[in-house]
Amino acid sequence: MELLPRPSARPILLTVRAMVLEAQGEPLQARDLPRPVPGPGHVLLRVRACGICRTDLHIANGDLPEPKLPLVLGHQIVGEVEEAGPGVEGLAPGERVGVPWLGWTCGECRYCRSGRENLCPRARFTGYQIDGGYAEFALADARYCLPIPEAYPDLQAAPLLCAGLIGYRALRLAGEAERLGIYGFGAAAHIVAQVARHQGRRVFAFTRPGDEETQAFARELGAGWAGPSTEPPPGELDAAILFAAAGELVPAALRAVAPGGTVVCAEIHMSDIPSFPYEILWREKVLRSVANLTRQDGVEFLELAPKVPVRTQTTTFPLAQANEALDALRSRAVHGAIALVVDDS
């Protein structure tokens, strides 16, 4: 494999510009942090782009408890290896890698030993317990870095690293469904719809009532039907994935799926699910969630993405405008994905 030339002409910076969460519920602060030094098994990455995920909002808002503080958010990092720490194998300076949400697992527990490292109780996550990519540089455990398909520009690749990966895992757990409902049509859904169509499935997209723009966006990406989540789809679904944090959508989705169908909740945080009659779960319907990802999911999905090929639609903001980018996600001002451009030189 040919390595990219190392940008050795660049001056070595002693501090690193980062957008830092100092307290939940408060805006991020622009700070100069000491340049990180990669310890054993770690790489120092020059961040090129970092995708923004709804989970970042949940951490910033305080919906998810006890983040590392102060914290650099961001777990869809596309970066270039600047320096490899002792013992790193297979990654050399100049290589481009992706850093996803799963940042470390224990490797010893019964989940780790049975191919379910996504459920490791000691797992540590990028941009939550480990500083992430809203910064010029980031450290990552080399074993959790993912290869990025060569054909993808940085900004196309960034949303694959969480929206794509978690979406892919959710799609797999939805089973062999031919008629697939998708509730909430943001970054993950806009990727999953393309993969689902590639697999020959039919996509039914549900949005907030009145959001005709998003319904049109879903149709552009191959949804055969798009309408408000308050309405039943035309005909029963075989499965549904919820990419929305609204618990009241769970009974709606259960009603919409056929006997034997699965409803997958893909969000890390959701409002309470209202009580519902057992009748809408009966006939072997399955209600389940998706939590995190395994490295295997990452490798599989990043191999699949260029074959579809998944085209991500990404709205960009400079690093210094990370708060504005989070606001855009909060207010649903953009379609598709959002990413910070950190270094596009």
Q: Does residue 322 bind Zn ion (CB under 5 A)?
A: no
Q: Does residue 53 bind Zn ion (CB under 5 A)?
A: yes
Pick from 43, 55, 194, 211: which binds Zn ion (CB under 5 A)? Answer: 55
Stretch that binds Zn ion, among 39-47, 132-140, 154-162, 243-251 (CB under 5 A): 154-162
Please report how close the Cβ of residue 73 comes to Zn ion at its closest, in angstroms: 10
177 vs 322 by CB, closer to Zn ion:
322
Please report how close the Cβ of residue 317 comes to Zn ion at its closest, in angstroms: 17
Q: Does residue 245 bind Zn ion (CB under 5 A)?
A: no
Stretch that binds Zn ion, among 59-67, 92-100, 156-164, 313-321 (CB under 5 A): 156-164
**Angle (CA) 299 341 8, round 5°:** 80
Pick from 64, 91, 109, 245: which binds Zn ion (CB under 5 A)? Answer: 109
Residues whose CB is less than 8 angstroms from the CB of residue 167 and which lie 6 or more positions away in sequence, other chains included? 188, 189, 191, 192, 195, 241, 243, 266
Q: What is the total count of residues that contact Zn ion (CB under 5 A)?
A: 8
Stretch that binds Zn ion, among 40-48, 158-166, 175-183, 299-307 (CB under 5 A): 158-166
CA distance 275 to 280: 11
Q: Does residue 64 bind Zn ion (CB under 5 A)?
A: no
Q: State phi, psi for 61 to the nearest 5 degrees.
A: -75, -25
Q: Dihedral of the CA atoms 190, 192, 195, 199 (nearest 10)?
A: -130
- Of 265, 302, 318, nearest to 50 (Cα)? 318
Q: Does residue 194 bind Zn ion (CB under 5 A)?
A: no
Q: Does residue 291 bind Zn ion (CB under 5 A)?
A: no
Both tokens assigned to 340: 């910070």
**Angle (CA) 325 329 333, round 5°:** 95
120 vs 239 by CB, closer to Zn ion:
120
Q: Does residue 258 bind Zn ion (CB under 5 A)?
A: no
Stretch that binds Zn ion, among 15-23, 114-122, 203-211, 279-287 (CB under 5 A): 114-122
Stretch that binds Zn ion, among 17-25, 47-55, 64-72, 85-93 (CB under 5 A): 47-55
Q: Does residue 340 bind Zn ion (CB under 5 A)?
A: no
Please report how close the Cβ of residue 74 comes to Zn ion at its closest, in angstroms: 9
Q: State phi, psi for 310 to the nearest 5 degrees.
A: -75, 130
Stretch that binds Zn ion, among 60-68, 115-123, 276-284, 331-339 (CB under 5 A): 115-123
66-105: which residues touch Zn ion (CB under 5 A)?
Answer: 105
Both tokens assigned to 282: 């009966």
Please report how close the Cβ of residue 53 comes to Zn ion at its closest, in angstroms: 3
Residues whose CB is less than 8 angstroms from the CB of residue 73 and which lie 6 or more positions away in sequence, other chains included? 19, 21, 28, 56, 59, 60, 127, 132, 133, 134, 322
How far the first Cα of the chain sits from its last, in Å, is: 23
Question: Cβ atoms within 10 A of the Cβ of 227, count?
Answer: 19
Q: Does residue 106 bind Zn ion (CB under 5 A)?
A: yes
Please report how close the Cβ of residue 54 comes to Zn ion at its closest, in angstroms: 7
Q: Does residue 334 bind Zn ion (CB under 5 A)?
A: no
Q: Does residue 45 bind Zn ion (CB under 5 A)?
A: no
Strand ranges, E, within the chain? 15-21, 29-34, 42-52, 71-72, 77-84, 96-99, 102-104, 124-125, 137-141, 146-147, 179-183, 202-207, 225-228, 237-242, 257-265, 286-289, 314-318, 337-341
Residues that bind Zn ion (CB under 5 A): 53, 55, 105-106, 109, 112, 120, 162
